[in-house]
Amino acid sequence: MPDMNLPVSARPVLRRARRKPWLLPLMLLSLAGLIVLNSPFKERLWPQPGDVPVEPVPPVEALHPVVAAKMTELIKLTSKAGITILITDGFRSSLEQDVLYEQGRTAKGQVVTNAKGGASYHNYGLAIDFALRTSEGDAIWDLTYDGNHNGKADWSEVVAIAKSLGFAWGGDWKSFKDYPHLQMDFGYSIDELKRGKRPPDDVKP
């Protein structure tokens, strides 16, 4: 008899399963659940408390107040140094980011970003882009331009002032250097921002 090869305790269960065909799949599902619950990898199967926002997060629609204040200070300090800068971009929606991402890919122009919507600090109001403005009023992105005639590149002077205010510069990135880009991440990663975490309004850079 086949039942003789099974442990004594398992024989009645198997006999009941034969009389009730639906019982065996149910038993197998229960066993699988017990295995998963006791698995050391169960954390990878379900979201953990820190993986998703605890409460709904209002959408970001403007620059973070600290970033906005530091941007205004940057404009004033560079002006004192004889340099006029133009803020070409600040907060950018995810939709605008997607459109920008397609530039140089499916749309005309050159590639200017590797970040899709939701993957840029601009999308969370934590970044700005700048250009230099000449005495004629033209916006330029010339890293060697010396408009205040002090023997130093205006671009480098702007970056140095920005860093003193707490900005990080895209020109320091190891890959895909973004020379007009300045950001304050306040220690938050893009993944954390995507999950709904936000720096408080009074956070220090």
Helix (H, G, I), strand (E, B) or coil at 183: strand
pLDDT digits (tens, 9 = 90+) for 25-55: 666 666 666 555 565 555 555 555 555 555 5
C-alpha 189: how far from chain center? 6
For residue 190, which of 94, 120, 126, 138 has the smallest C-alpha distance? 120
Give the C-alpha separation, 51 to 194, whole Å: 10
Query: Read out DSSP for 74-142?
Result: HHHHHHHTT--EEEEE----HHHHHHHHHBTTTBSS----S--TTSSGGGGT-EEEEEEE-TTS-EE--
Decide which of 124 and 41 is more confident: 124
The two structure tokens encoding residue 140: 């330029």
pLDDT band at 136 (very low <50, low <70, confident <90, very high): very high
Give me the mean pLDDT over the 67-90 stretch. 98
